[in-house]
Amino acid sequence: MPFILADKVAPYAWFPEGASSFAPQVDYLFTGILWICILFFVPIVIAMVYFMWAYRERPGYRGSPEALHNTPLEITWTVIPTAIVVWIFWEGAVGYLDMARIPKGTVDVNVTAKKWVWSFKYENGGENSFEKIGTVDYPKLVLPVDQDIKLIMRSEDVLHSFFIPAFRAKRDVVPGRYNYMWFHTTKTGIYDLFCTEYCGDNHSNMNAKVEVVSEEEYKKALEKAVQEPEDPLERGKLLYKRLGCSTCHYAGDEGANGPGPSYNGSWGKSVPLESGESVQFDENYVRESILNPPAKKRKGYGAASPMNSYAGRIKDEQIDALITFMKSLENAPAKTGK
């Protein structure tokens, strides 16, 4: 079946192309274990099929009930696998210690995970930008090549897990504590970043892209990353993605269609609430909904996944920018189709 191997991104059969210093180690260990498995599996299956045939029940044949015990053989097939798993354990543990021991002089990035967006803060305080690939806007983490990178990770709500297959690196992001991970980038390019710990409705959309670039390009990217735009509308658009609004609320022609209500065509209208009343979709309603989301739930969203409060995490000017953004969608059409 040729299309198993026809991976459009990674031309290799088992792994995506490695881009960190962990990759050769991991791939080597995997290949080693794979061969060990084959060395066990193939003889087992051959023996099974051969015995099935050679000792099949047939007229005139009667097997011998003698072979019930063979101490040397039993010891052999206990000792050899034991020796092999000791080796596997050893290699795995050594590799793990490499991953767990964070070297000095790293480039540090603060990673915040929340439903369902990754955000990254660089050493100079700048935050990540977004990049549109196809129809999806991915948060983009820019990293310098040939550097030790350290990630300081925290979660604002539930468990998440940070996984970059090309780097062979993964670590859970646990609320209530910081978790750390590091890797050494070896190759420029754009790589996938996944959340691998189930975190709710849009878990599968909680992806990002990691772009590994040269030192100069990294510096340029850092400079660009510092500022939120002055223009309130542009700022609102950026915040809509950066704060994770886009992961639940459809706006313009982007963002997830749910679990939250779309911004399109809402501004200035009277919207029905879960409680049966209705409310004017204005500045005060938006502000209250950001700071205290459960206060006035839109009709039909009572059972939807709850939104976390942004109180203490958002500045007033940022709310203003978001309001500007919502105003601009006053006459935008609702999402059609699925």
What part of residues 91-150 is at the interface with other proteins (CB under 8 A)?
Answer: 91-100
Please select the residue that binds other proteins; options are 112, 128, 144, 197, rule is CB under 8 A.
Answer: 197
Quick note: the x/- pattern for other proteins over 28-67, rule CB under 8 A, is -xx--xx-xx--xx--xx-xx--xx--xxx---xxxxxxx
Report the distance separating Cα 174 and Cα 182, nearest Å.
16
Report the distance separating Cα 277 and Cα 296, nearest Å.
9
Number of CB atoms found within 10 A of residue 126's CB: 18
| Per CB under 8 A, 305 contacts other proteins | yes
Contact 273, 279 (CB under 8 A): yes
Q: In angstroms, what is the minimal distance from the CB of 20 to other proteins?
A: 11
Classify 4 in phi/psi space as left (phi over 0), alpha (psi -120 to 50) or beta. alpha
Please select the residue that binds other proteins; options are 126, 139, 144, 165, rule is CB under 8 A.
Answer: 165
| Per CB under 8 A, 210 contacts other proteins | no
Q: In angstroms, what is the minimal distance from the CB of 186 to other proteins?
A: 16
Name the residue nearer to other proteins (CB basis): 106 or 324: 106
Q: Which is nearest to 238 in space by CA: 246, 47, 42, 54?
A: 246
Q: Which of residues 255-294 bind other proteins (CB under 8 A)?
A: 258-259
| Per CB under 8 A, 203 contacts other proteins | yes
Helix (H, G, I), strand (E, B) or coil at 67: coil
Please select the residue that binds other proteins; options are 72, 105, 176, 312, rule is CB under 8 A.
Answer: 176
Piece of the chain touching other proteins by CB under 8 A; list 11-19, 227-235, 317-325, 326-334: 11-19
Please select the residue that binds other proteins; options are 163, 263, 267, 310, rule is CB under 8 A.
Answer: 163
Q: In angstroms, what is the minimal distance from the CB of 48 to other proteins?
A: 6
Q: Which of residues 65-94 bind other proteins (CB under 8 A)?
A: 65-70, 73-74, 77-78, 81-82, 85-86, 88-89, 91-94
User: HEC states along 281-312?
Assistant: CCHHHHHHHHHCHHHCCECCCCCCCCCCCCCC
Residue count of the chain, please give it: 338
Amino acid (1-letter code) at residue 261: P
Report the distance separating Cα 241 and Cα 58, nearest Å.
72
Q: Measured in Å, how far apart are the chain's first and last C-alpha atoms? A: 33
The H-or-E segment that residue 46 falls in is: helix 22-54
Name the residue nearer to other proteins (CB basis): 29 or 222: 29
Name the residue nearer to other proteins (CB basis): 199 or 239: 199
Q: How many CA atoms lie within 13 A of 247 on its CB side?
A: 26
Contact 147, 135 (CB under 8 A): no
Contact 144, 185 (CB under 8 A): yes
Q: Which is nearest to 156 in space by CA: 305, 313, 286?
A: 313
Q: Which of residues 217-256 bind other proteins (CB under 8 A)?
A: none
Piece of the chain touching other proteins by CB under 8 A; list 105-113, 192-200, 224-232, 282-290: 192-200
Count of residues that bind other proteins according to CB under 8 A: 99
Classify 265 in phi/psi space as left (phi over 0), alpha (psi -120 to 50) or beta. left
Q: In angstroms, what is the minimal distance from the CB of 149 to other proteins?
A: 15
Q: In angstroms, what is the minimal distance from the CB of 184 to other proteins?
A: 14
Please select the residue that binds other proteins; options are 109, 117, 195, 208, rule is CB under 8 A.
Answer: 195
Name the residue nearer to other proteins (CB basis): 55 or 124: 55
Please select the residue that binds other proteins; options are 228, 304, 313, 335, rule is CB under 8 A.
Answer: 304
According to DSSP, residue 227 is labeled P
Name the residue nearer to other proteins (CB basis): 147 or 196: 196
